[in-house]
Amino acid sequence: MKILGINASPRGNESNTLQLVKAVLKGAESEGVEAELIDLYSLRIEYCTGCGACYATGECPQLDDFEELFERIQNSDGIVLGAPNYINSVPAPMKAFFDRLSDAIHCQMLTGKFGCSVSTAGGSKADAVVEYMNSVLMTLGVTVVGGLGVLMAGNPAAPQQAAGSAEELGKKLVKSVRGEIKYPDQDEAHRQTTAYFCQLAQSDKERFAHDYDWYVQKGLIK
């Protein structure tokens, strides 16, 4: 089993969010699994141009680090997203990454994986950023096990104080992957989302040729 942490903070080792992501991964590792950490700012992820090539061919014309990163995500069982609050949302590299996941959403490529999100904020809305990142995971077909938002608010020790909760989140993530914790409501939501995108692919086979072929291969379109 492998848990992948993706941190989107430009502050390197000084990142408060990084401390939370590491704590989640530490909790996961305590359950006997492998964990990997990726610094999103060390990668080059170009902006989505909305060309639609991914829907038609399954390939993106952008030549950057996206495909390698997505392959590492596909080869993981659990995903931890970390981002500070930048004007009530995630920093630009994380948003650029999210925007490149359009075909992965249409094909529900991450179905069966589990994930969570963590965020830090100077004064407010860390929880809102966590909710946003978790909503992206849900849209991808990932089952969300929880999240953690931490407000600094003049307290530099806040990430360390929240480390215990972050580690527990990592343990919960692993237990969820193992099937020890069930999420029937999310299972049904994922089923409905997959049905929607199957119907979308069938409604316009030419435009969504790759998506159509994907669902045929999965046996969901006969």
Give the residue, 154 or 131, on which the prediction is more confident.
131
As given in the structure block, the two tokens for residue 158 are 């806040």
Mean pLDDT, residues 58-80 taken together: 96
**pLDDT average, residue stretch 78-99:** 97
Over range 115-143, report the average pLDDT: 97
pLDDT of residue 85: 97
Q: How far apart are CA 196 and CA 194, in angstroms?
A: 5
Q: If pLDDT is split at 50, 70 and 90, which confidence band does 222 have? A: confident
Q: Is the pTM of this model over 0.75?
A: yes
Model confidence at 203: pLDDT above 90: yes
Closest Cα partner for 48 from 86, 105, 7? 105
Above 90 in pLDDT, residue 154?
no
pLDDT, mean of residues 88-111: 97
| Segment 16-30 mean pLDDT | 97
Domain range list for the chain: 2-180
Answer whether CATH 3.40.50.360 is correct for domain 2-180: yes
Find out whether 119 and 126 touch, Cβ atoms under 8 Å.
yes
C-alpha to C-alpha distance for 174 and 3, rounded to whole angstroms: 8
Give the residue-averaged pLDDT of 61-71: 96
181 pLDDT band (50/70/90 cuts)? very high
